[in-house]
Structure 1
Amino acid sequence: MEKLGKPKANRLVFLTSPFQGHINPMLQLATILHSKGFSITIVHLQFNSPNPSNHPQFTFKPITDNLSESKVLQGDILGTVKALNKNCQVPFELYMKQMTEKEDSDDRISCIVYDGLMYFAHTVANNLKLPGIIVRTSAAAGIFNFTVFPHPHQQGYISLLDSMAEEFSTELQSLKLKELHASIKTEYPPDAVLELRAIITSAIKDSSAIIINTMSYLEREALTKIQDIFNASIFPVGPFHKLAPTVSNSLLQEDRSCISWLDKQAPKSVLYVSFGSIVSMTEDELLEVAWGLANSELPFLWVLRPGLVRGSDLLEPLPEIFKKRVEERGCIVEWAPQQDLLAHSAVGGFWTHCGWNSTLESICEGVPMLCRPFFGDQFLNVRYVCHLWRVGLELEELEREKIVKAIRKLMVDGEGEEVRQRAVEFKEKAKLCQIEGGSSYCSLNDLAEHISSY
């Protein structure tokens, strides 16, 4: 509900996608823009819908998605994204038409702000003659990579990268985009992946503005190159989670008992382990992770969520011998309040899949990372973390002896101490972005003025 007695601001309609790693940053961005005086309507799907009680200042509207929950649980991300864009356009456009018919001059719709995976929203915005602002919840370099490689067989795209290669400075050279693109394997047909990338790239090109959850000092060259390619204004307004009040939008129940366990541990002694909300692995891989943690002889806090093991919705039981081995120095929970854990003084390292949200959260708390990517832009993020920023170490294989070696290198050895010092430096730089006069602070003000001009 809107506060009584307060003049209504221009209304922003946010369209979210149903993935945990996308819901959080979209609601954080909505909170940030609400603090700038905008009224907010959150349009969301019935599947994985956010909890409206966490945000009483917003209006929430569910729309029909006709999505099979089993399809999502099976990990078919590409099929899910395509189904969402096919199923949701009509109900979303119908709702938007109803809103525009009812609006008055004190509460007009300013624009549609949509998750980049929900690219159909751009068509709806065009049909209703409304500005459409796309939000990228991943790294800026991911947009640049999409643009260079929407279809590797299409004339001009590889040559674009080759012709620009000499202009690349340390940042983009370190990412080795061409090599990275060729090395990433996917379970989906290549043509289907490339078609989706091309569609998303088209939506980015045609958007009225692009909001990116990043900081200028992290991706200075990538942001410059993107602005050279696109006509739309680009606003690096990150990190969203630090610019918005902390409200949990977790789809899973957080087990906060692990915080009291951390309180009993020595400073910087615990390795926090979490592979995000949608990564899956085989049972053999899970056991390699488990014995790697056990054999490291170091304390750890492991998020072992239901569904982490491929093909199973249930928490896979670990061997009793493992449980006895680690009962004094291991804490295992199904889900955890990650931001609070990373800020805890006992956490000295983060073993992560390198999703962008986790990467930003770790940087903002100065926690060095052990990186093992699984799919998609996680491989790009690892290049940033380990090769350019050097605030983490890469683990290339889930094999227990290599896991032990990597954990001890990060948490105990001299190389890990160097990584830790750089992580602390990056934390301080992140703070400077957020304060008055900082790059994200200024970009946010520019964004609010840009939206107000519609």
Structure 2
Amino acid sequence: MEVSRDMQIQAPKVPHLVILPIPFQGHINPMLQLATLLHSKGFSITIIHTDYNSPNPSNYPNFNFEPLPVGLSDGQVRTKDLVTILCILNDSCQAPFHDRLSRLLLDGPVTCIITDELFYFTKAVADQLKLPRILLGTSSATFATTMASLKLLRQNGLLSITDGQPNTLIPEIPPLRIKDIPDIGMIDPDSFEQLGADVLNAMRSALGYVMNTFDGLESTALAKIRQDIHPMPLFAVGPLYKFSPGSSNSLLTQDYSCMAWLDKQAQQTVIYVSFGSSASFDKRDVVEIAWGLANSNQPFLWVVRPGSIHGHDWVELPKGFEEKTREKGHIVKWAPQQEVLAHPSVGGFWTHNGWNSTLESICEGVPMLCCPYLLDQNVHARYVSHVWRVGMQLENGFDRSEIEWAVRKLMVEIEGKEMRECVGALKENAMRCMAKGGSSYESLESLIHLIMSL
């Protein structure tokens, strides 16, 4: 018997998610990790990305990629003022994102858009096109609660450093000090505060808020967000890189030669040194770092990225350094960080404390030497050293003697052993949160259920 059209069983529609990352390494990676994870759960994924710092589509053959022309000038791209470039991106992306999303809707429905929380312009676009919107926070919950406190603290006069006391503790947000607050020293703190207000305002209409963290690490901050800051559902689904291994998008070419070198080193003897994709230093600082590492007599893997020195595309290491460290050190322009931190020979990580790096170090059980560069990194460094107690902070600039002392303290002294025990406990906690029935596992299930209900 022929089955009529009305009687035919319709195949279920695959939910279609549109993903919009901010074009910086620390933001692209967790967004693509989340996209990979959701694709594994049956969702169709379209990545809309700027033509600046575009991800490589060949790494994600199951995704649809749609470029977003934003026309950033060389001067805008090279600025070190992240607040300014974020505002420029929000202004530049709104119209082309609306157009690109409208065209996608002509081809079929979009279930939901997932955007970086700092792309506050997406609220207006989502409202106009009547699409639900979910946000991804790529920093820590601790930093989010700090940001929420800034306006009130400034109004109460608690953020001034004119009295010359940057080490003064702020009782309202312990253990942070004046100098740990993200906007201190910025050219225009009012613009930074306005950015925070715009982000917070756009959050209020979001359907949900995803964070790359886990309850076993940031339960207090997560509780504060849920109770006092954001009324929408909060999904702490971290560590995302563990849920979706191999899904990171490196904007720089990774040198895997370091893995063979690590294989030849003794267990937990190597300090891995990397300050992320944006930090740059004075030439003198690089010289002090080099001799501090050499004089520590510890094996080291050092990422010396082009552009690490202000105003230079290349880095010249001091004369005699290579000869002294030939048997102890290995230098690359960029490393496969997750694989490096997971290697058994790595026993310490000298880091800028970007959130991805901090989370990866914790989840691989590697204690940290902290050297924050800007914004949220100061907050993370303080928590690493004084709350989670899985590292120590280098606070007095770059001096070879202090670097030598700090490296040895982290790698071979009793304090380093204690930090290693603390970070090992947090690593186990992360694994429990990811396991079936754990908080991150359950948050992920709730997020999927929410999207499927749309």
Shifted more, 188-197 versus 346-355: the winner is 188-197
Aligned to 2:37: 32
- Higher mean displacement: 267-276 or 144-153: 144-153
* CA–CA distance in structure 2, aligned partners of residues 340 and 203 of structure 1: 36
Match of 2:62 in 1: 57
Q: 194-203 or 341-350, which moves further after superposition?
A: 194-203
* C-alpha distance in 2 between matches for 1:127 and 1:8: 24
Greater shift in the superposed pair: 68-77 or 277-286? 68-77
SS in 2 for 1:332: strand
User: SS state of the match for residue 396, structure 1?
Assistant: coil
Tell me the alpha carbon deviations over residues 121-173 of structure 1, each in whole angstroms, 9 at most, x when there is no partner.
1211111111111110000122212222246555xx889xxxxxxxxxxxx98
Number of the residue aligned with 1:278: 278
2:3 is matched with which residue? none
Q: Is the 8 A contact 1:8 1:39 kept in 2?
A: no
Q: Deviations over 1:159-218 (max 9, x none)?
A: 9xxxxxxxxxxxx98843574565853333111111111111212233221100000111
- Provide the residue aligned with 1:243 in structure 2: 243
Question: C-alpha distance in 2, partners of 1:203/1:328?
Answer: 53
Query: Which residue pairs with 1:17 in the alignment?
Result: 22
Structure 2 CA distance for aligned equivalents of residues 140 and 237 of structure 1: 12
Partner Cα distance (2:183, 2:191) in 1: 15
Normalised TM-score (structure 2)? 0.91
Contact 2:19 2:115 in 1 (8 A): yes
> Which whole-Å CA distance do the structure 2 matches of 1:290 and 1:142 have between them?
31
**Which residue in the other structure is 2:49 paired with?**
44
Query: Which residue of 1 is the match for residue 210 of structure 2?
Result: 211
Contact 2:83 2:192 in 1 (8 A): yes
In structure 2, what is the Cα distance between the partners aligned to 1:370 and 1:176? Answer: 18
Query: 1:343 and 1:181, CA in 2 relative to 1: closer, same or farther beyond 3 A?
Result: closer
TM-aligned CA deviation for residue 119 of structure 1: 1.5
Task: Tell me, in whole angstroms, the C-alpha distance in 2 between the residues paired with 1:298 and 1:148.
Answer: 41
User: Offset at 1:287?
Assistant: 1.1
Q: Is the 8 A contact 1:214 1:236 kept in 2?
A: yes
1:146–1:198 CA contact under 8 A, matched in 2: no
- When residues 416 and 85 of structure 1 are mapped into structure 2, their CA distance, relative to the original with a 3 A threshold, is same
Partner secondary structure for residue 446 of structure 1: helix
SS at match of 1:47: coil
The one of 76, 98, 101 equivalent to 2:106 is: 101
Match of 1:91 in 2: 96
Measure the CA separation in 2 of the matches of 1:340 and 1:389.
Answer: 23
Alignment of 1:124 onto 2:129: no
Aligned to 2:323: 324
Checking the alignment, whether the CA contact within 8 Å between 1:289 and 1:403 is kept in structure 2 is yes
Matches within 5 A, 1:55-454: 55-103=60-108, 108-150=109-151, 152-153=153-154, 175-177=174-176, 179=178, 185-229=184-228, 230-312=230-312, 314-397=313-396, 398-454=398-454
| Paired residues, number | 431
User: What SS is found at the alignment partner of 2:272?
Assistant: strand
Cα-to-partner distance string for 1:53-81 (whole Å, 9 max, x where unaligned): 11111111001111124432342322211
Describe the shift of the 1:175–1:350 C-alpha distance in structure 2 as closer, same or farther (beyond 3 A): farther
Letter in 1 for 2:277: S
- Displacement of 1:349 after TM fit? 0.4
- For 2:176 and 2:208, the matched residues in 1 are separated by 25
Match of 2:162 in 1: none
Take 2:67 and 2:322, find their aligned partners in 1: how far apart are those partners?
43
Question: 1:7, CA displacement in angstroms?
Answer: 5.0
Q: Within 1, Cα distance between the matches of 2:315 and 2:132?
A: 47
Deviation at 1:46, TM superposition (A): 0.4
- Flag the 1:6–1:141 CA change in 2: closer, same or farther, 3 A: farther
**Partner SS state of residue 350, structure 1:** strand
Q: Give 1:452 shift.
A: 1.5
Q: Distance in 2 between matches of 1:249 and 1:202?
A: 30
Structure-1 separation of matches of 2:246 and 2:101: 29
Distance in 1 (CA, whole Å) between partners of 2:62 and 2:288 is 46
Call closer, same or farther: CA 1:178–1:326 in 2, change over 3 Å: closer
Taking a change above 3 Å as real, the CA distance of residues 23 and 183 of structure 1, as seen in their structure-2 partners, is closer
Quick one: structure 1 residues 380 and 153, their matched pair in 2 at CA, closer, same or farther if it must change by over 3 Å? closer
What 5-or-longer segments of structure 1 have no aligned partner?
Answer: 160-171
Partner SS for 1:56: coil
Change (3 A) 1:32 1:325: same
Task: Flag as ranges the 4+ runs of structure 1 deviating above 6 A.
Answer: none
Percent identity, aligned pairs only?
A: 48
C-alpha deviation, 1:309, in angstroms: 1.0
**1:174 & 1:346 partners in 2: Cα distance?**
37
